[in-house]
Amino acid sequence: MRCLIQRTSEASVSVDGQVIGRIGEGLVILVCAMQGDTEAEAGALAAKVTKLRIFRDGQDRMNRSVLDVGGAALVISQFTLAADTSRGNRPGFSTAARPEEGEALYKAFGKFLSELGVPVETGRFGADMAVSLVNDGPVTIWMDTAS
């Protein structure tokens, strides 16, 4: 699985002009299931994300996790993280999981985060979404279970 994490002071996701998820301090997590991914990878990635020390401590160092700061997660499905741009000008997405597998793993990832103690809001799988956020720092981190 792949994810792009952005530390945020606030974020929301809308579908058809209606806000369906909103958080304050925490993480916006764009998630992509790849072919061959399993729930074990979703769980491992969720566990790693919850422990990632990217929030400021009292000395202004990145030394606290989303759990440490009482933050939340806005989890958004993002199959375009599977983009292959090695040929031509149009990205290919053939390495992304099939939609039904991708949706199941996206939901599993959110469930694992919640079970680990992070309040979770989500987008809507397969929908055309508008994501708004204030990237705090900015801090943006790429994670991939394959590496």
Tens digit of each residue's pLDDT (9 = 90 or more) over 56-103: 999 999 999 999 999 999 999 999 999 999 999 999 999 999 999 999
Select which of 79, 109, 112, 122 is catalytic: 79
The domain ranges of the chain are: 2-127
Q: Would you say 83 and 91 are in contact if contact means Cβ atoms under 8 Å apart?
A: yes
d(CA 18, CA 35): 32
Write down the catalytic residue from 35, 80, 93, 140: 80
Given the candidates 3.20.20.70, 3.50.80.10, 3.40.190.10, 3.40.50.300, the CATH classification of the domain at 2-127 is 3.50.80.10
18 catalytically annotated: no
Give per-residue pLDDT as tens, 91-118. 999 999 999 999 999 999 999 999 999 9
- For helices 39-51 and 99-115, give the axis angle rounded to 10 degrees: 40
DSSP 57-120: -TTSSEEE-TTTTT-EEEEEE-GGGG-B-SSSSS-B-TTBPPHHHHHHHHHHHHHHHHHTT--E
The per-residue pLDDT for 130 is 98
> Which of these is catalytic: 6, 8, 50, 78?
78
Is residue 109 annotated as a catalytic residue, yes or no?
A: no
pLDDT over threshold 80, residue 147:
no
* Active-site annotation holds for 78: yes
Rounded to whole angstroms, how far apart are CA atoms 91 and 135?
Answer: 26
146 pLDDT tier (thresholds 50, 70, 90): confident
- The structure's pTM equals 0.95
